[in-house]
Amino acid sequence: MKRTLLLSFLIFTLTAQVFAQKKGPKRMIPFTGMDYMRIMVDADYKTAASNTFKVTIKSIADGKILFQSAVVPTPVLNVDVKQLAFNMKNLKPTLWTPNNPYLYQVTLQQVNGSKVISSLTERAGFRIMERKGGNLYLNGKPIFLRGIAINPPGRGIPKELEESRAFALDYVKFMKSINVNIIRIPDAEEWFDVCDELGMMVFGGNYGSKVAQGDKVEAAEQVGDEGDNGFPKDRNVGVSWYEHSKLGAIAHHPSLMVYAMTNETPFVGKRALEWEAFLSYAFGELKKWDETRVYIANAGYGYGKTGDILDIHRYWGWYYSSPYTFLNIRDKTKIVPFEKKEAQPITFTECVGNYTGPDGRYNQTPAHKNPSSQLAWTGHERQDLQAQLADVHQSFTFKQATESFRQLRAVNPDLSGVFPFTILFYNWDTIKNFDDMKPKPVTQQAKISYQPVLLSWECWTPNVYAGNTINPVAHIINDDNDFKDLKNVKLVYQLLDKTKAAVLKDSISLNDIPYYATADKPLDIKIPEGLISGEYILAGKVMANGKMVSENFFNLFIS
């Protein structure tokens, strides 16, 4: 059931390997929580038994010293590598959040007497991502992941732009502007640096079906299009690869919140059991190494049998089913093929699909599932309408996926994040700068559906007679970027004709809405008599303390 385009997937995988090889693991990794820091270095960094160490942590913004003292290291053995751990506790830092990505400079000095023998410097941000029951928590507060899965580098843009800090800045700023709070990227240092600075959370790690050098895999029955390039017979070799190479190369970045251990490896049969055994062991060891992040063991196909997150890839509304199939997420038994013994955060780190090309029409990839999907959604309509219809369906599917996840959190509280795997820009390989990418209409849908405070309409009667009554539900989901409650809430709504003139207006005062809570308000709206047949818009706004915090609309046809 892998839903990537083969070429894009190969480019992404190869690029991730190139970036990882280029940068290599860091010699110093600062692991941080809300009030502590643990610095890890290889033991051979200490060049003499008489040498001592000093740690300085200071704010990059104003140079204020948070911590400065001699620190005695603790010898540790991480799998097969001897290391030194420097622990600083009971700190009172300004925390790193997406809305306030506060950074510190960390310096570890090796000293002999009054002489500095060597020095290591790294940036850090104090934050922690945890799983508590069925939810994800950032710095002790629940958070919903509003993600995008297809991003550069490794997606065909020119190499000079892949490595351009200026391009990464423009790209990530744009994603922030459309209310995305987490993106999936390969191990590209320039991109991680920008995400650290701008407050863009990152989902990274091993997005493939091979661990370390893999292993020879016998042919096995394939249920979908799962990949299997193997893992080392010695499980500790795999763990060492994660810690000291693959994940260790990016672990110093505060923006990194979610590790992928593998992607779409076998999920049924003998090989699935073997993978689950290896991943369960590796997850247990990795959690000891880095407890400040959450792990997806088998992205897309693992169903959370191990790891922190129950992650699924579903392409309803593209390869199969319809966009309305996202209603299944309200019931865990509809999406998980076995009984779950405990609550676990649920994410869809791939969904939506709807791959459109530079001219806006659906990609007709040879020997692939795309042509049949195109026929399902835009059919044999005239060529001059194909791009328009593809844009409409892509945006509608994006809306159904993302807003359903947020609406239905009140029914299934484990719903914790969604990452559409869809193409947001028209141009990739021909661009010279970010402006050349040209965002598609679906980016405007993302800006609406990913509003931190979301007004989302649920209405099952888009066609109605004048004089009749409709019963929409206004869902108000409070994922405020500053983790604040909504006070003095009012819902204001209008029925607008095609000239944007209001033919009906009303407002309702609502109770305060706590952070991460949802208010569902059923409405009885009588459509005025005598309206001219045509398209209308049910437009709503949410006001809190007199300020508009969200707006959204629903299309109606009235006759």
Residue 330 lies in a domain: no
What is the end-to-end Cα distance of the chain in Å, rounded? 43
Position 463 pLDDT exceeds 50: yes
Do 238 and 387 lie in one domain? The reply is yes
Do 53 and 194 lie in one domain? The reply is no
Do 443 and 462 lie in one domain? The reply is no
Cβ atoms 51, 110 nearer than 8 A = yes
Residue 87 lies in a domain: yes
Do 60 and 207 lie in one domain? The reply is no
Q: Among 308, 301, 306, 307, which Cα is nearest to 336's? A: 301
Distance of CA 513 to the CA centre of its chain: 25
pLDDT for residue 224: 78
Position 13 pLDDT exceeds 60: no
Do 118 and 137 lie in one domain? The reply is no
What is the SS3 assignment for 77?
Answer: strand
Q: Of 25-34, 85-94, 96-105, 488-497, which gets the smallest average pLDDT?
A: 25-34
239-260 pLDDT, tens per residue? 999 999 999 999 999 999 999 9
Position 2 pLDDT exceeds 90: no
Q: The domain that contains 542 carries what CATH number?
A: 2.60.40.10
Do 101 and 196 lie in one domain? The reply is no
Do 459 and 494 lie in one domain? The reply is yes
Do 116 and 234 lie in one domain? The reply is no
pLDDT-derived band at 19, boundaries 50, 70, 90:
very low
Do 372 and 499 lie in one domain? The reply is no
Do 377 and 526 lie in one domain? The reply is no
Q: Among 483, 538, 539, which Cα is nearest to 513's? A: 483
Do 428 and 460 lie in one domain? The reply is no
Question: Side chain identity at 211, as an amino acid letter?
Answer: V
- 171's tokens: 């790209």
- SS3 breakdown of the chain: % helix, strand, coil, rounded to 5? 25, 35, 40
**124, 141, 157: which is the final residue of a domain?**
124
286-312 pLDDT, tens per residue? 999 999 999 999 999 999 999 999 999
Residue 408 lies in a domain: no
Q: Is the C-alpha dihedral spanning 507, 512, 515, 516 positive or negative?
A: negative
CA distance 197 to 522: 42
Beginning with the edge strand found earlier in the chain, give each strand of the sheet holding 518-522 in spatial order: 453-458, 473-478, 518-522
Position 158 pLDDT exceeds 60: yes
CB atoms within 10 A of CB 293: 21
pLDDT for residue 502: 98
Residues in the chain: 559
Residues 6+ apart with CB under 8 A from 443: 178, 424, 425
Q: How do beta strands 534-544 and 489-496 pair? A: antiparallel
CA distance 227 to 232: 16
- 228's tokens: 């299997």
Residue 140 lies in a domain: yes
Measured CA to CA in angstroms, residue 292 lies from 85, 137, 279 at distances of: 15, 11, 19
Residue 407 lies in a domain: no
Report the C-alpha dihedral over residues 258, 261, 267, 269, rounded to 10 degrees.
-160
Q: What's the domain count of the chain?
A: 3
Whether a cis peptide bond, with omega within 30° of 0, leads into 439 is no
To which residue do tokens 């865990």 refer?
A: 332
Do 297 and 390 lie in one domain? The reply is yes
pLDDT for residue 5: 43
pLDDT for residue 266: 95
**124, 151, 184: which is the final residue of a domain?**
124
CA distance 110 to 115: 9
Angle, CA 208 vertex, CA 202 and CA 210 arms, to 5°: 135
Q: The domain that contains 444 carries what CATH number?
A: 3.20.20.80
- Domain hosting 59: range is 34-124
Residue 203 lies in a domain: yes
Residue 29 lies in a domain: no
Position 144 pLDDT exceeds 80: yes
What is the SS3 assignment for 382?
Answer: coil
To which residue do tokens 């059923």 refer?
A: 522
Position with higher pLDDT, 363 vs 25: 363
Position 23 pLDDT exceeds 50: no
Q: In which element (H, E) is residue 83 found? A: strand 81-88
**How confident is the prediction for the chain on average, in pLDDT?**
94
Residues 6+ apart with CB under 8 A from 117: 47, 48, 51, 110, 111
Q: Is the C-alpha dihedral spanning 158, 19, 37, 240 positive or negative?
A: positive
What is the SS3 assignment for 302?
Answer: coil
**103, 124, 145: which is the final residue of a domain?**
124
Cβ atoms 107, 120 nearer than 8 A = yes
CA distance 506 to 182: 36
Residue 332 lies in a domain: no
pLDDT for residue 366: 87
